[in-house]
Amino acid sequence: MGTYKTLEEARENFKNDKFATNAGVTLDELTEEYCICSMELNDNHRNAYGGVMGGAIFTLADFAFAILSNNIHSLTVAQNVNILYLSAPKGDKLIAKATCRKNGRTTSIINVDVSDDTGRDVAQFIGTGFKL
């Protein structure tokens, strides 16, 4: 069983993650197997050239990673993360789906696939969570 008994309990716990929530990231789904978060894009997410900032994409992926890894084991912190930017988003919304690749005794490996609402692959994030 996961740390959070309901989606609302997880939302309540992560509402104080102000950087992500102020950026517009929302928790949409959470099970023991995966987490889905999303972010409606607006001008605040754009860089000087009109593209979506890499930091906005990273924030979304990192939030999904944090929720799933802490649902697996609370408290888990990021030990190492890597992100590959695959394509510029073309849609109006980003969606991050986090899945657990490995759940070990002291660490977990979480893969987060980020796409936009047109189905375009935007980024691949891999995080190692250290279980405290």
- Domain spans of the chain? 7-131
What SS3 class is residue 43?
Answer: helix
CB burial class (10 A; 0-12, 13-18, 19+) of residue 85? Answer: middle
* Share above pLDDT 70 across residues of the chain, in percent, rounded to a whole number: 100
Mean predicted confidence (pLDDT) in 10-20? 97
Pick among 3.90.110.10, 3.40.50.980, 3.40.50.720, 3.10.129.10: CATH of 7-131: 3.10.129.10
Mean predicted confidence (pLDDT) in 67-83? 98
What SS3 class is residue 65?
Answer: helix
Per-residue pLDDT band for 1 (boundaries 50, 70, 90) equals: confident
Give the distance, in angstroms, between the CA of residue 10 and the centroid of all CA atoms in the same chain. 13
pTM over 0.75: yes
Structure tokens at 129: 């969570």
Mean predicted confidence (pLDDT) in 28-35? 96
Task: Concatenate the DSSP letters of all residues of 4-35 into one string.
Answer: -SSHHHHHHHHTT-HHHHHTTEEEEEE-SSEE
Angle at CA 132, nearest 5°, toward 16 and 99? Answer: 70
Structure tokens at 29: 């789904």
Mean predicted confidence (pLDDT) in 30-38? 97
**How does the average pLDDT of the chain come out, rounded?**
97
